[in-house]
Amino acid sequence: MSVAEKIRTIRPDTLIGKRIPKMDAPEKASGKTRYIHDINLSGQLYGKILRSARIHALIKSIDTSAAKALAGVHAVITAADIPDQRPIGVARDHFPLKVGRVRSQRDEIAAVAAESEEIAEAALKLIKVEYQDLPVISDPEEAIKPDSPLIHPEPHGADGSHEHLKQGMSIAHKGKPDNIAMRFDYVHGDVVRGEAESDVVVEDTFKLHYVTHCCMGVSGMIAEFDSSGNLLMYSNTQVPFLHKREFAEYLDMDPARIRIIQPPIGGGFGSKLDIYPFEVICLFLARAAKRPVKLLFDREEEFLASPTRQPVLLTLRSGCRRDGTLTFRQVHTLHDNGAYTSWGATTPFVMMQTFSSLYRVPHCDYHTTAVYTNNPYAGSFRGYGNLQATFAIEQHMDQLAEAIGVDPLAFRLKNAQEAGEVTGQGMSFKSCGFKECLETAARRSDFSRKFRENAANRGKPGSVKHGIGIASMLHVGGGAKIYPSDGCGTILKMDDFANVTLITGASEIGQGSETVLSQLVCEELGLPISALTVVNNDTAITPWDVGVHASRTTFIAGNSAIGAAKKAKSKILAVAAKKFDCAEGDLDLRGGFVIRARDGEALVELSKLIRNLHFSAKADLVMTTFYYEPPSVHQDKGFKGDVSAAYAWATQVVEVEVDTDTGLVTMKRVTGAHDVGRVLNRLGIEGQIEGGMVMGQGYALTEDLMIEDGVMKNPNFRDYKLVTAPEIPEMDISFIESMDGEGPQGAKGVGEAPAICIAAATANAICNATGVRIYGLPFTPERVYRALHGKADKLYWKPWKPE
Amino acid sequence: MSPDISIEFTLNGIRKHVNVTARMNALDMLREVIGLTGTKYGCGEGECGACTIHVDGLSLNSCLMFAVDCDGREVVTIEGLANDPKADALRAAFVEHGAVQCGFCTPGMIMQADHLLHKHPHADAEAIKRGIEGNLCRCTGYKKIVDAIAACTTPSDTERNAEMRKSP
């Protein structure tokens, strides 16, 4: 008797919304997972980079002769050895090995490949560099002045040796006549009219600091050219397909001859979105030494040579009517771009969405100037500008509410977006659980009562004051159409035993995409998770994907995986319908069987049916492909357009204790309500949100990358303070399931959302506790103490407005 | 520097003879000389806990220990917990409670948790948080790690937990 005959009917079941453990967790928990640090190739050399000893200087000479003579050294390279270097970065302003000039502490001058790390380090010490110091420009407000020295002047060595560079067209080749890296200008409505219609207007200037990703696994790369000149890279990139193309450009080779393998990575958070000099240098070394080269950072180098979140000076002017209707917002921001331009310089794309569209605001005017300085260059980091924008906007929401004497929750509810709205920026909110987020987070935290009571209790004796603050966010939740395609490809194959290999373009960076994608496929094919194998880390195998960014993987790769699974299902059911002489619609897949949809009766084991297909006269396999392109559009030149297929919403309420004697702020509780469309993997999504909340806590309270005159003062975990386990708040998380019509099983992206509101809500909570509003981060004891004890003015910084 | 110092110790229950340099730390010896890569490099300064190992029953940052100081000792790494039923339960709890994301801190976290549970089988949530204070995690926000460890404790003992919270 077959299994099918024993089990007559199979009840409907679902994996959606369940707590599914991450598929790669058992290996990781056993220490068996091989990260890039754990991979070694035979014949491998070790690469090391010599970085600048100066912040801003001309390179007068480099002498590598002693390093080259050291036993065990296979290659020593400087810019002079790579005369055809091409500039990297979105603005093409950055040679991997610096030509004639260093512009920041991290700048790469030379590199060595040697038989051991020890020898490579010894060789670096033998390289002699002569510099001629230049004035250091570390203040963006100085850098933007017309008479400021230039960070990227027309290149000319003191000896005139860089004449050839002027032939190229990029900033790296021909220089830039001012220090302005990028400008963004966005307008909808007419802010002058908006201000005229306002009963209340507030204006403040906010200052956001440097923080960095602190991935637990340091950066690294292994590169090898085979004897035919094909390149194999082991890389931690989040965007393998775009980078394959870019690396080909930097090496002047055919992209088809580049293969990128992505070992599991020790954290991403946006840090692997750009190509960095060390990666290109590792390729140069491998090419020069004709041996595989492994280049790993140590922790100090990880701090020094990784990107940061954008430090921002932001002046916001907002208004509303007495009835609580928002009238306008005017925003001017100054971004410290650092010495070079990363993709992260485009964070204003996201910032302006928050200003224009989080709440209904009829008139909005937004301007960003990103300026070159000699500071570390900023990159993309979870939230992509949204933490900075939300910090300002959500404080103003409280200030406006207070000015007209309305409860901050009621004020937000009155202006909150709803499903069906199209904003001034052209974003169309097909699903929108914003009001439910506000109401749920407020109810579960008892916000309004505590807000009133805390304010009333401020004057009572005792140094410890209690505060509660609310903040909300809007973020893309259905991809972001920045590149020509925002798509993802899937190849799905089923073996003779009904196991599935899901080959997806989507990269796994620890977020759990492999598990969610498997769930979605299993849901279509009626299989257990154990039937799935995911291949997601090899450009020679996987189909194209634009990369892990913009919280897009579940939505885009999920829809792609579902598309491939539906095609497989349709093929299987067509065969089964013929066999059982019925319509395809009468059948379904469930529990590893083809069943009758009407009553769940098991008709045949799926594996048996697939074997029949394979080994019969039809001689066919179940293999499908699918490419999903979301129905979003590119923004026009005015930054208008429905850039994402769906939008995610969240409200977070933060409760703090403020010790007014010491300035110490303790985060006690965070209540979050997130419109995630639909919960797919409850375990995974809780983990994303808890991790994001604690990352937000670090941004608000403890993390501060201190840069003085271009020098990083605290490149280590001793002095750069990450949140540790005893400091985490109690976290209460609710999910608002708005069931997005385009989302995979209704889901929307969530990866960045949980980090975005915490700092803003904390600012509001501190104000609720003490009556003092603080406009700069982080809320360290010193800053808070100074603010509470009148050691600093309300405006710490003069408003930022360009001439 | 040539690896001219000969040491002998017990690694994960097996006698081991290794030649090391005077400057080498235990982490590099484990990873580069012996080839056990489950112990991770996170900072090299004893600040992150990714390289946690057990030496004579103590939980240590292997990056801060000279390799030569392993001589004559009993060293256990994450690989050494492979056949330990208590550690099996801990690993399973990490998986089931979602305590693993990128996973880079996980081996060190499990070594620290294993040590904590041996010393303090009744640890409550606050004591567990204090116990893993020296292990950084950037992905999870720690909550699910604490839940996973808590699932492997025996019911709590209030007095000992209070004591535990005092002494990190």
Q: What is the pLDDT of residues A610-634, one digit of tens each?
A: 999 999 888 999 999 999 999 999 9
Tokens linked to A575: 């065969």
Q: What is the pLDDT of residues A710-734, one digit of tens each?
A: 999 999 999 999 999 999 999 999 9
Closest CA to A156 of A53, A59, A50: A59
Domains of chain B, CATH where assigned: 5-78 (3.10.20.30), 84-166 (1.10.150.120)
Q: Which of B1, B78, B141 sits opposite A694 (nearest CB)?
A: B141
Inter-chain residue contact B91 with A26, CB threshold 8 Å = yes
CB contacts of B45 in chain A (<8 Å) are 299, 716-718
CB contacts of B107 in chain A (<8 Å) are 28-31
Mind telling me how many Å the CA of A589 is from chain B's nearest CA? 27
Going by C-beta distance under 8 Å and a sequence separation of 6 or more, which residues neighbour residue A133?
A54, A56, A57
Cβ pair A49, A128 in contact under 8 A: no
Inter-chain residue contact B45 with A716, CB threshold 8 Å = yes
**Considering chain A, what percentage of its residues have pLDDT values greater than 70?**
96
Inter-chain residue contact A21 with B37, CB threshold 8 Å = no
Question: ipTM value of the model?
Answer: 0.96
- Cβ-defined contacts of A193-196 (< 8 Å, 24+): A193/A328, A193/A363, A194/A319, A194/A327, A194/A328, A194/A362, A194/A363, A195/A317, A195/A319, A195/A327, A195/A328, A195/A330
Q: In the predicted model, what is the mean pLDDT of chain A?
A: 95
Residue A1: predicted pLDDT: 46
The whole-number average pLDDT for the span A539-559 is 95
Tokens linked to B15: 């006698």
**Nearest-5° angle of CA A721, CA A724, CA A730?**
125
Res B136 pLDDT > 90: yes
CB contacts of B39 in chain A (<8 Å) are 31
Output the CA torsion A268→A271→A273→A275 (10° steps): -120
Mind telling me how many Å the CA of A300 is from chain B's nearest CA? 8
**DSSP summary character for residue A104:** S
Inter-chain residue contact A725 with B144, CB threshold 8 Å = no
**Distance between CA atoms of A764 and A400, rounded to whole angstroms?**
12
Selected for mutation to probe chain A from B104, B111, B165 (highest A CB count within 10 Å) is: B104
Residue B160: predicted pLDDT: 64
CB contacts of B84 in chain A (<8 Å) are none
Inter-chain residue contact B96 with A717, CB threshold 8 Å = no
**Distance between CA atoms of A451 and A456, rounded to whole angstroms?**
9
Give this prediction's pTM.
0.96
Please, where in chain A does CATH 3.30.365.10 lie?
A: 3-33+487-628, 312-480+636-788
Residue A306: predicted pLDDT: 95
Q: What is the CA radius of gyration of chain A?
A: 28
CB contacts of A268 in chain B (<8 Å) are 102
CB contacts of B98 in chain A (<8 Å) are 19, 21-22, 25, 683-684, 686-687
CB contacts of B48 in chain A (<8 Å) are 216, 299, 717
Work out the number of other CB atoms within 10 angstroms of the CB of residue A605: 18
What CATH number should be reported for the domain whose range is A312-480+636-788? 3.30.365.10
Res A3 pLDDT > 60: no
**Reported confidence tier of residue A797, pLDDT bands at 50, 70, 90:** low
Res B158 pLDDT > 80: no
**Distance between CA atoms of A577 and A589, rounded to whole angstroms?**
12
Tokens linked to B56: 């004579």
Inter-chain residue contact B47 with A728, CB threshold 8 Å = no
Output the CA torsion A120→A123→A125→A127 (10° steps): -130
Collapsing DSSP to helix, strand or coil, A198 comes out as coil
Top CATH class, A3-33+487-628: alpha beta
Going by C-beta distance under 8 Å and a sequence separation of 6 or more, which residues neighbour residue A684?
A20, A22, A511, A512, A515, A516, B98
* Amino acid making up residue A709: D
Inter-chain residue contact B104 with A216, CB threshold 8 Å = yes
